[in-house]
Structure 1
Amino acid sequence: MSSLLMIALLAFAVSLDGLAVGLSYGLRRIYIPWSSALLIATCSALIFLIAMQFGSLIALALSESLAETIGGWIFIVLGGWIVFQLYRQGGEQEEVPQLKEEDGENAWIGVMKKPSTADIDHSGSIVGIEAVFLGVALSLDAFAAGVGAALLLVPPLPISAGIALTSIICLQLGVWLGRSVRGVRWIERWRFLPGLVLIMMGLWKI
């Protein structure tokens, strides 16, 4: 698998959750300004880059073949976990709890658990610190992928830039679909794709 193809697939797999979150916001008429989308994407890229640096330190203690095998298994386990979580949820419709600013720390914990709750002040848009927390929440699953990517010797700067770009595209596309298109619930089925892509990439490398 070429480096360019791996970068494209990995960026897609890491960022697709943003499409589902954007869709949820669009259906509820919540707006994500481009400046906030850029902030969210920057958070995602930075966290992934930090994870890759951590993975690079681990790789120093391993042979190249062993590092590649471990990186592949990280992708497989992470992809399997994503698929399992979605399968366990089944077809149940997600309930979006109403968080309030006065909820304090509990509100931010709620955003980490459910990124679709990031509009804490109910302003109808995601701005400021809400965008930062949303960016972090969307990046939590990607941390393990970043470690695995480092073990597989994926170039850190190109993949981080790719994740930033695809994050913006997925978020804004999701919001647009939610606002503009009826009957878009079928997109929820595509949430299995990131997990499947990670599994296939892992199998390719072990």
Structure 2
Amino acid sequence: MGQSLVTILAIALASNLDNAGVGIAYGVRGMGISWWANLIIAVISGLATLLSGWIGRVITRVLPPHLAAWLGAAALMAVGVWVLTAPWRERARRGRTPHNVVSRILRDPLAADFDRSQTISLGEATVLGLALAMNALVGGFDAGVVRIDIAWTAVAVAAASYVLLGMSAYLGRRFAAKAFGDRATVAAGTLLILIGLHQLW
């Protein structure tokens, strides 16, 4: 149980470190995230974790357990590498406008404020939540294939989403801590890779 708890907490943290970067960006620019907008984003992350965890659990009924565990670890590490290399890809794409909304928000969180009101509305919170739920999807899938409690993983991911986004927005407003936000993506990618490697051994 102790090891499962550590894995659940690690997945919750890795799934939401991008939220810290978004919160910092909003705080530095003075953008407001109300408690209910933050709650919507957290619920979407939790539901994404639950859905992908269920899919992972279904896969374990088809594949042998060791193969399913390797698949989950490979998915975590692949997404970790993708997240880790995001800053380099961003520099390579600089000047080009992404075609879809999710890509635009992931590159520039301020793009979620469609009406430029300096606050995140219900609709904007929903779109932002969907964009930020990408890491939660792979974390939930991994929890499903290694047969960790999916419900508790979803609760942990949602709670971490709410706390990290709210806390980092406050820190951004209070201290203009942009440097931390820039490092959040690298930290998230590294943690996802480490969780995957840990599962292989």
TM-score of the aligned structures, taking structure 1 as reference length: 0.85
Aligned residues: 196
What's the Cα RMSD here? 2.4
CA distance in 2, matches of 1:186, 1:114: 16
Q: Secondary structure at the match of 1:2?
A: helix
- 1:77 has 2:78 as partner: yes
Q: CA deviation at 1:41?
A: 0.2
Unaligned runs of 5+ in 1: 98-104
Conserved 8 A contact 2:53-2:144: yes
Question: Cα deviations across residues 8-50 of structure 1 (Å, max 9, x unaligned)?
Answer: 1110000110110011111111100001101110011101111
Q: CA deviation at 1:112?
A: 6.2
CA distance in 2, matches of 1:32, 1:114: 16
Q: How does 1:51-130 map to 2 (within 5 A)?
A: 51-89=52-90, 110-111=104-105, 114-130=108-124
Residue identity in the other structure for 1:68: A
CA distance in 1, matches of 2:8, 2:101: 34
Question: Cα deviations across residues 104-143 of structure 1 (Å, max 9, x unaligned)?
Answer: x966774466443111112221121111111001012332
Conserved 8 A contact 1:71-1:152: yes
Q: Give aligned-pair identity as a percent.
A: 29
> Which residue number corresponds to residue 12 of structure 2?
11
TM-score of the aligned structures, taking structure 2 as reference length: 0.87
> Which residue number corresponds to residue 127 of structure 2?
133
CA distance in 2, matches of 1:199, 1:108: 23
Conserved 8 A contact 2:14-2:135: no
Question: Cα deviations across residues 87-120 of structure 1 (Å, max 9, x unaligned)?
Answer: 4446x9x99x9xxxxxxx9667744664431111
> Which residue number corresponds to residue 162 of structure 1?
156
Question: Cα deviations across residues 149-178 of structure 1 (Å, max 9, x unaligned)?
Answer: 211112111111111111011111121111
Q: CA deviation at 1:82?
A: 1.1
> Which residue number corresponds to residue 100 of structure 1?
none
Question: Cα deviations across residues 71-95 of structure 1 (Å, max 9, x unaligned)?
Answer: 11111111111112234446x9x99
Conserved 8 A contact 1:48-1:143: yes
Conserved 8 A contact 1:79-1:197: yes
CA distance in 1, matches of 2:15, 2:100: 26
> Which residue number corresponds to residue 39 of structure 1?
40
CA distance in 1, matches of 2:125, 2:116: 13
Residues 1:112 and 1:87: Cα distance change in structure 2 (over 3 Å) = closer
Unaligned runs of 5+ in 2: none
